[in-house]
Amino acid sequence: MLDKLFIDGEWIAGGETLPVIDPATGLEFSRVACGTAADIDVAVEAATRAFSGPWRKTSGRDRAQLLHAIADLIDARIDTLAELEVRDNGKPLPEARWDIEDTAGCFRYYAELAAKLDDQQGEAIDLPTSDFGSRVFYEPVGACALIIPWNYPMLMAAWKVAPALAAGCTCVLKPSELTPMTALELAAIAAEAGLPRGVLNVVTGLGAVAGQRLSEHPDIAKVAFTGSVVSGRAVLHSAAGTLKDIGLELGGKSAAIVFEDADIEAVVEWVMFGIFWNQGEVCSATSRLLIHESVADQILERLREEAERIPLGSGLTPGTLLGPLVSEQQLQRVRGFVDRARSDGIALLTGGGQPEGMEVGYFFQPTIFVDVPKSSELWREEVFGPVLAVRRFNSEADALADANDSDYGLAAAVFSKDKDRLERVARSLDVGIVWQNCSQPTFAEAPWGGTKQSGIGRELGPWGLQNYLSVKQVTDYQSARPWAWYLASD
């Protein structure tokens, strides 16, 4: 089953296949179908057909039941799914279990919102006249293209599939070619839960082929994309042909600002978590650290100690906190940033290479550079690995200016005991998400997304559902005749 495409409720053998590599060993552990543009066309046809059938007219409560059933099946298979996620992505098993729990939680959250959609009788709009009455209805947008990355494979699928189904849309999901396994499991689960055929289709394959065709396909109403800025730009171009609705969740270079009055030990824990969690392969990773100069040396010393103590290993080895990077290519990318920073003379506090004795698999040490020049690529570009860039500041204004001086605007963290300062800084940061005295907590209920080149739109919460709903105005005639109304209003 896992080497096939899931289209129109059936498992279909593709032609070519792609290897799936375990990042802890560098060895192939499975193969998946390499979907072609023609496969995408068949999947979009199935999604379009399913959308014009009874699915879009199902009640929100019926869809909620299906979403709950999907969540229950995910929970029931958490052991298998979490292990598969580790083998696919490399992350430590407890983190993978967390992801799978969150995946089920996301389906449950959107089940609740789906049920509430039934209550809408058309929201009345206040008009400046009693001659007409206007109401608003929310309707599913149509067949959607859902394209996701490799860092949280199943959770990223849930962030899109759950609200799309809750809204009554149909979809074609294309997982990353690096981590396709749990998306296929999700297809199997959805089918078992009773989702009608064609409502969720999963096509594995390459971004430049399957992803590109999906984002340009004329019958796709909406593209929801999560990935890099480069691919996001390509998707925006492809979607422009038929002016599709689009959501882009892209990269980041998020800052953590530490003021002199912050709780130092709490800061150390959150900063470590903010950059080394999930191997730093997190779009919102707080990969730029700005520390007030009066506490910088103290914090840096503690960060060095903690970074050198992180247990590295296979995600399946108990106690591992940092697994391998996802692929050979990602390892080369991270190493490239680190080697260039070192040869440019940027001060390395700790890490900087593959850990000794761990040359098999794609392991990289937790790495910290200090006093990183603002103009350097290490400060400005997303590394997407366990690499922290640190600078010192001596005033709130300087810290804010440095934090905002970025092409990205996904998230930021701020640490202080001064509540007024926390609020002031939060309101001045040009980002979509601000964490106060913490880093990375994420909730299905709260909006997710960024400003500037971090993307377009928001996922999660009710905003995530709105992405898949089209707003319809219905205006009815109450009393006036057209010309009488026009002349009277003159």
Say if residues 367 and 346 touch (Cβ distance below 8 Å): no
* Nearest residue (CB) to ligand NAD, 313 versus 449: 449
Q: For residues 321 and 374, what is the distance between their CA atoms, to the nearest angstrom?
A: 30
Fill in the DSSP letter of residue 90. Answer: -
Number of DSSP helices (H) and strands (E) in the chain, helices first: 16, 22
Which of 155, 159, 180, 176 minimizes the C-alpha distance to 101? 155
Fill in the DSSP letter of residue 448. Answer: B
Q: For residues 329 and 31, what is the distance between their CA atoms, to the nearest angstrom?
A: 18
The site for ligand NAD (CB under 6 A) is made up of 147-151, 174, 176-177, 207-208, 211-212, 215, 226-228, 231, 234-235, 249-252, 283, 382, 384, 410, 455
Helix, strand, or coil (residue 53): coil
Tell the burial category of 447 from Cβ atoms under 10 Å away from its Cβ (0-12, 13-18, 19+): middle
* Nearest residue (CB) to ligand NAD, 63 versus 174: 174
Contacts of 195 (CB under 8 A, 6+ apart): 66, 70, 165
Contacts of 482 (CB under 8 A, 6+ apart): none
* Nearest residue (CB) to ligand NAD, 207 versus 366: 207
Query: Strands 132-140 and 245-249: what pairing?
Result: unpaired
How many Å separate Cα 279 from the centre of its chain? Answer: 16
Catalytic residue among 106, 169, 171, 283: 283
Catalytic residue among 95, 249, 281, 459: 249
CB of 452 to ligand NAD, least distance (A): 12
Is the Cα torsion angle 316, 319, 325, 331 positive or negative in sign? negative
CB 348: neighbour CB atoms within 10 A? Answer: 15
Fill in the DSSP letter of residue 121. Answer: S
* Nearest residue (CB) to ligand NAD, 277 versus 384: 384
CB of 340 to ligand NAD, least distance (A): 19
Q: For residues 349 and 341, what is the distance between their CA atoms, to the nearest angstrom?
A: 12
Q: For residues 399 and 257, what is the distance between their CA atoms, to the nearest angstrom?
A: 7
* Nearest residue (CB) to ligand NAD, 114 versus 156: 156
* Nearest residue (CB) to ligand NAD, 39 versus 382: 382
Look at the block and give the residue holding tokens 């552990």. Answer: 29
* Nearest residue (CB) to ligand NAD, 64 versus 429: 429
* Nearest residue (CB) to ligand NAD, 142 versus 247: 247
Look at the block and give the residue holding tokens 């078992």. Answer: 192
Fill in the DSSP letter of residue 163. Answer: H
Active site residue 249: yes
Active site residue 438: no
Say if residues 174 and 211 touch (Cβ distance below 8 Å): yes
Catalytic residue positions?
A: 249, 283
